[in-house]
Structure 1
Amino acid sequence: MTILVVLDFDHTVVDDNSDTWVLKCLPGQTLPDCLKNSYRKGHWTEHMGRVMSYIGDQGISPERVRGVMETIPLTSGMAELLTFISKNKSTIDCIVISDSNSIFIDWILKATGLQEAVDLVFTNPAWFNESGFMEVECYHSHDCDKCPVNLCKRRVLELYVSDQTESGTPYERVIYVGDGGNDLCPTSFLRERDVVMPRKGYTLEKLLAKLKTQEGDPSVGAEVIVWSSGSDILQALKTRM
């Protein structure tokens, strides 16, 4: 039997937001107000498409963007966690489900040398067009009214676990690690033997605490363990192996 570790990326694997970190490649490290104000709630991926077009318009090369993205720091203890996972691949599967994009995550994981710990990444696909500008599109379409239009993490997790079970890898336990509001929906998929780990002081912890106060709320059946560093996650993982 195998344990599945599910990791968010921004403010989880890395200790910042990769989509805002990329602004460090701009001379003033900020966007013009007209572009900042173009964001519509739930449509972040569309906004990032415009941001990356603007960065390209400023003559900033993909190499410069990559160099900046590779400097984003890992969250404390995350390197140790990923190293442990990579050494125990016979009993631990690890996936990333993120609202970032495929290029940023690929660059960052390769820069850390820890990419072998992650089996699959589910995120918004990105590529460089003929002009050298990075484009980003939504991961999928869905009918969940709780999630951003581009990504329902519960839907991704459900399909992945179902596919793995059908192919002969049923998971004894799922450990879901995240921080944000878009990490709440997938927690309703988890069972009593599973674990949801919200980052201390972040939105997911507050949302789960609010649900807990609603007596009889059945939406989160998993054990809740708050984390502050990758060391906390590693300890929780080791004790459940």
Structure 2
Amino acid sequence: MKTLLVLDFDHTVVDDNSDTWVIRCLPGERLPDSVTKTYRKGHWTEYMGNVMNYLGEQNVTPDQIRLVLETIPFTEGMKNLLTYVSRRKDAIDCIVISDSNTLFIEWILRAAGLQAAVDEVFTNPARVDERGSLEVRRHHAHSCPDCPVNICKREVLRRYLSERAEYGAVFYAGDGGNDLCPVACLREQDTVMPRKGYTLEKRLLQPGRPVKPRVVAWSSGQEILEELKARD
């Protein structure tokens, strides 16, 4: 039976937030208050739409955004992890579930030559619109009260698993609060891997929060790789 590796993207695969990295396209690398004050908790994709509109108004092109995104650093060891996964497609499936967007993730993985490692990406759809600006939309509508309005990672993972043959083991690696919800999909033979010092690890350690899967914290992609190799 194959193994499934599920990865978050921002602060997991890459060592920063790809959405905020685009601000480096602007002079002074900052947004005006008129844009930043449009953010509402749980409505990040709507806010990023406002950011993209502003970049377009400043004549920042999609190519300029792509070139800036290609400079975002990968988290230590992640390139080795993804290279290994790309060579073991007979035994390992790999998906990304992220609150970023399709274009950012595609550009970053392609520039690093790592797109072959990832079988599917579940994130907010993005495209270049008729004006030549980037447009970002919600991944889906859902009713989960614990997740941002644009994506519930548990719903995404549950649907993915329901449509495929059973995996021998699932490894889920992430860092943020929105990576807690999909942990409910995992079984005792699975492993949740929170990044050390980040929100997911802190929430998993809260008293009275029972979780079925094994919990193994990580600080480098190499540690995730070693866990995979032990299973492989």
TM-score range, shorter chain: over 0.9
1:97 equivalenced with 2:97 (yes/no): yes
1:188 deviates by 1.2
Q: Specify the SS of the correspondent of 2:106.
A: helix
Letter in 1 for 2:155: R
Structure 2 match to 1:228: 219
Structure 1: distance between partners of 2:172 and 2:229: 14
Question: What percentage of residue pairs aligned between the two structures are identical?
Answer: 61
Kindly report which structure 2 residues correspond to 1:33-48, keeping only aligned pairs within 5 A, or say none: 33-48=33-48
Other-structure match for 1:149: 149
Return the alpha-carbon distance in structure 2 between the equivalents of residues 184 and 141 of structure 1. Answer: 19
- Equivalent residue pairs, number: 232
Partner secondary structure for residue 139 of structure 1: coil
Find the counterpart in structure 2 of residue 79 from structure 1: 79
1:99 maps to amino acid: D
Structure 1: tracts of 5 or more residues without a match: none
1:162 aligns with 2:162: yes
Q: CA deviation at 1:28?
A: 1.4
Asked if residue 116 in structure 1 is aligned to residue 112 in structure 2, the reply is: no
Give the drift of 1:189: 1.1
Q: Which runs of 5+ in 2 are unaligned?
A: none
Query: For 1:9-88, what aligned pairs fall within 5 Å after superposition?
Result: 9-88=9-88
2:68 partner SS = helix
**In 1: Cα distance, 2:199 partner to 2:55 partner:** 29
> Which residue of the partner structure matches residue 198 of structure 2?
202
Give 1:123 shift: 0.3
Q: Secondary structure at the match of 1:13?
A: coil
Q: Residue 231 of structure 2 corresponds to which residue in structure 1?
A: 240
Q: CA deviation digits over 1:41-100, x for unaligned, max 9?
A: 000000000000000000111111110011001100001000110110000000000000
Q: Quick one: distance in 1 between partners of 2:111 and 2:74?
A: 11
Secondary structure of 2:105 counterpart:
helix
Superposition misfits of 4+ residues, deviation over 4 angstroms: none
Distance in 2, matches of 1:61 and 1:18, equals: 16
For 2:196, the aligned partner's letter is K
State the secondary structure of the residue aligned to 1:90: coil
Question: How many angstroms does 1:35 deviate by?
Answer: 1.0
Kindly provide the CA deviation profile for residues 108-137 of structure 1, in whole angstroms up to 9, marking residues without a partner as x: 000000110000000000001111110000
Corresponding residue to 1:181 among 162, 177, 181 = 177
- RMSD across aligned C-alpha pairs, in angstroms? 0.7
Secondary structure of the residue that 1:171 maps to in structure 2?
A: coil
TM-score (normalised: structure 2) = 0.99
Structure 2: distance between partners of 1:67 and 1:114: 17
Deviation for aligned residue 1:235: 0.6
Query: Using the alignment, how far apart are the partners of 1:180 and 1:154 within structure 2?
Result: 13
The separation in 1 between residues aligned to 2:160 and 2:61, in whole angstroms, is 35
